[in-house]
Structure formats: structure tokens, C-alpha cells
Chain A
Amino acid sequence: MLLSLDPSSGLPLYAQIAAAVRRSVADGDVAEGDRLPAARDLARSLEVNMHTVLRAYSDLRDDGVIELRRGRGAIVRQGSESIASIYSLVAELAAEAGRRGVSADEVIEMLKKEFA
């Protein structure tokens, strides 16, 4: 499995890792049921603390992208592709809104109207 980090995004490293996984899942590069790299292996290869990777993985679990199981590692969940692709669109929307000076509350109002 190939992940690309984006240091130019200015996000903290754990968020870059989570974003890279979301992007790969959304693009279909990582399939449902695939196993993410073991946290310790990934941390050592990126030369970061293992807790940075574990924080990214627990964020992904909270968003429903992966399942974390003791001994089995991090597995990409069923249906995570749609969640991850929506998440990527939302991230894009938030970034665009920030650039154009539209506040979060305004964007949320717009979204609510869209769903009404």
C-alpha cells in the first residue's frame, strides 16, 4: 500500500498521516479489508514517535475509516470508501471557505439548507 504525505498542507504530522490514508481510501488505492502498515513499523520508517501514528489511526477509527484490533492491526472498514471520499470533499470545502473568508457557521448553514 502506497501513501503520500503532504507536508505543504501545514497540518500536524498525525493529521497528514490520517489525510494520506483517507485520500488513498477515497481514490480506491487502498481497498476495503486492506491492512494499514503496523504503527511501530510506520513510525520507525517515518522517523516519528509511535504515538503520532497511533493518534492518526485512532482518528481514522473514530471517523469509521478503519477498525483497530489488538493483534490484527488496522484494517480498512467496509463502506469506508464513501466515508473517506465525503471527508475529502468536506476538507476541500473547508479549505476553500477559509481562503474566501466564509466562516464555518455560514458553511454549516449552507449545508443544512442543502439537506433540507
Chain B
Amino acid sequence: MRRRLTLSIIPAVMVVVVLTPFVIFWSELPSPMAIHWGLDGGPDGAAPPIVLVGVLAALLVAISVSVRRVVAATPAEGPSFAAGLFAVGALLAGVAWLSVVANRDAGSWEEAGSVTWVGIISLLLVALSAGAIGWWVAGGSSVHAEHPAGEAPSLRLDDPLNAVWSGRGSGKLVTGSGVVAVGIGLIAWGLTGVFLALLGVVLLTFAQVRVTVAGGGVVVSLGWWGFPIWRVPMGSVTNAEVETVRPLAYGGWGYRLRPGVRATIVRGGEALRLVRADAADLVYTVDDAATGAGLVNAIVGARR
């Protein structure tokens, strides 16, 4: 039932709420209407109302499609997803209502009313409240992400405490996005360029993950340059499993926090899961995870 609700009813409600102001006040809108406001609150950009309706409709379609994909990937996906969906819906609805009300009864777009900081902040507050409602409706934090028991291989080694395994995983999608962001960032001017370049560096950090397993612990490092680097003591690991990661099920790529698990996702597919009794599990998307998990399990066995 919740699935059905998420898939059809919520996007339908979003469409109605977002498009209603246009339907009611269509005859009172100037064409073109103001669609963008400067820092002083006055209108500084305009487009025909039909364009704004088109853009909003396209966003709604994109959201509905991604909803379907995410729900298909993770049937149990719960509160955080509903919260995001409600918040985006409220944001779009707020933009639609603010724009229409400001343009109402204006002779031309230059005469449209101001959009003040108060309006923008209320918009964000409404979006946050809608997010909270979505979280609450979907069951709040009582929902746990149960992961299916993965494959837990073990290696037969004479001396596992003196063996070393190293594996890495890299993702084309994240690498490509990072290269594009850095590239545009370097040719773009001003703050936008700096922001894009920084974003690109963050993306490239998550383009590759390396995991090295030895008797003392598991060392994980990110990026081609191997920084940041951290070590998971073997004493905190109870066992290791192989898992097939679908990035959408973790809410995307990068460093993902889910109830009971912290995942570093650079691509979809094979991943190594370190199961820990007293802390969150750790998931790293590396190739040949079976050998890595096997060595971790052999080491854990030998230490007992």
C-alpha cells in the first residue's frame, strides 16, 4: 500500500498543488511573467508563463520517474526518501505560488511584486516541515535497513596473519562527472568556477577506493592520490561478507550513511562488507571482494 501511495498518489498531489495557481490565475498573469528576482527583491528575469509551467512539469515528471526507479531498487526504502520527496514537492509548490502571486494583476513583468527574504525563508521552512511530515508519515526512524545475509567466504591459508590482500574499485560515472566538473570549473569565472572545481575534487576523491587487508587491520584510502586514508582495527570486525551494491539503494554514490551501515560507493556491483558488533557495518565497493572477505574471515578465525 505504501508503495502504491509513493508511486502514484504523492506525485499526483504534487502536480495538482504545483499547477493549481496557474489554473486559477492564468488570465491575470502578464506574458512574459517575472520568473527571477534579484538580491534587492525586484524582478530581473522573465519568460512566458507557459515556459514556467513547462519547466515545473518537467521537474515533476523527472521526480516521478526517479521515485519509480528508487522504489524499484529498494522496496523497503523508507523515511528519508519520503522526507526528500515531500520537501522537493513543497519547494516546487512554493516556487509556483510565490511566482504567481507576485505576478498577479501586474501589467507587465517589470511591475511584478517583490520576492523578499521573508518569502524565501518561509519557503524553506515550509519545505523542511513538509520533509518532516514525510519522514513521520513513512514511519520515522523506527524503520531499520535490514541487509540480506551476504556470502561469507573464507580462505584456507596456512598463516592468514601473514597474508596481505589489496583490492580497489573505481567508477566511470563518478570519475567522468568529476573530470567534467573540474574542467568546467577551471574555465568558468568567479565563484561558480571555484565551486565547480571543488565539487570535482570531491567527486574524484570518490572515483576510487582501495582496501588493503592484513593481520593488524583493514586500511581504506580514497582517490588516486590515496587520501583520506583510515584504518579499521581487525579487533572490531566480527566477519566479512560479499555484497552486491545498488548505488540507488544506498541513496547514491559517495560516502553514504544508512541505519547500521556506512558505505563508500564508487560504483555499483561487488562490494566488501565488514560486519561489526559494536559499531556500524562498513561497505566498500572493490573488485574481487570475495578474496578480501575470505582473508578477513581467515584472520578473524586465526585471532580467536
**A and B together in one complex:** yes
**Shortest CB distance B230–A (Å):** 9
- Contact pick for B216, options A36, A37, A46, CB 8 Å: A46
**Shortest CB distance A21–B (Å):** 10
- Contact pick for B226, options A4, A20, A35, A41, CB 8 Å: A41
Q: Given contacts A2-B295, A41-B219, A41-B226, are A46 and B214 in contact (CB under 8 A)? A: yes
Most B CB contacts (10 A, CB to CB) among A5, A38, A44, A45 go to A45
Instruction: Please determine whether A2 and B210 come into contact, CB atoms closer than 8 angstroms.
Output: no
* Measured CA separation A12–B2 after assembly (Å): 63
- Chain B: CB-nearest residue to A36: B166
**A27: Cβ under 8 A from any B Cβ:** no
Give a binary string over B202-217; 1 marks a CB under 8 Å from any A CB, 0 the rest: 0000000010111111
**A10: Cβ under 8 A from any B Cβ:** no
Query: Inside 8 A of B165's CB, which chain A residues have their CB?
Result: 1-3
- Chain A: CB-nearest residue to B234: A45
- Chain B: CB-nearest residue to A37: B166
* Measured CA separation A41–B100 after assembly (Å): 57
Query: Inside 8 A of A5's CB, which chain B residues have their CB?
Result: 162-164
Give a binary string over A37-67; 1 marks a CB under 8 Å from any B CB, 0 the rest: 1101110111100000000000000000000
Query: Inside 8 A of B229's CB, which chain A residues have their CB?
Result: 40-41, 44
Q: Given contacts A4-B163, A46-B216, are A40 and B291 in contact (CB under 8 A)? A: no
Instruction: Please determine whether B226 and A45 come into contact, CB atoms closer than 8 angstroms.
Output: no
A6-28 CB contacts (< 8 Å) to partner B: 6-7, 20
A69-87 CB contacts (< 8 Å) to partner B: 71
Query: Inside 8 A of A40's CB, which chain B residues have their CB?
Result: 221, 226, 229
Main secondary structure of the interface of A (DSSP, over half): mixed
Instruction: Please determine whether A41 and B162 come into contact, CB atoms closer than 8 angstroms.
Output: no
Number of interface residues of B (CB under 8 A): 27
**B172: Cβ under 8 A from any A Cβ:** no
- Contact pick for B212, options A20, A37, A71, CB 8 Å: A37
Query: Inside 8 A of A20's CB, which chain B residues have their CB?
Result: 164
Instruction: Please determine whether B224 and A3 come into contact, CB atoms closer than 8 angstroms.
Output: no
Most B CB contacts (10 A, CB to CB) among A35, A38, A40 go to A38
**Shortest CB distance A68–B (Å):** 15
**B173: Cβ under 8 A from any A Cβ:** no
* Measured CA separation A44–B226 after assembly (Å): 12
**B167: Cβ under 8 A from any A Cβ:** yes
B197-255 CB contacts (< 8 Å) to partner A: 210, 212-219, 221, 224-226, 229, 231
**B159: Cβ under 8 A from any A Cβ:** yes
**Shortest CB distance A20–B (Å):** 8
Instruction: Please determine whether A41 and B221 come into contact, CB atoms closer than 8 angstroms.
Output: yes
Most B CB contacts (10 A, CB to CB) among A36, A42, A46 go to A46
Chosen A-B contacts, 11 in total, with CB atoms closer than 8 Å, are A3-B164, A3-B166, A4-B163, A7-B162, A36-B166, A37-B166, A38-B221, A41-B166, A42-B212, A44-B229, A71-B224
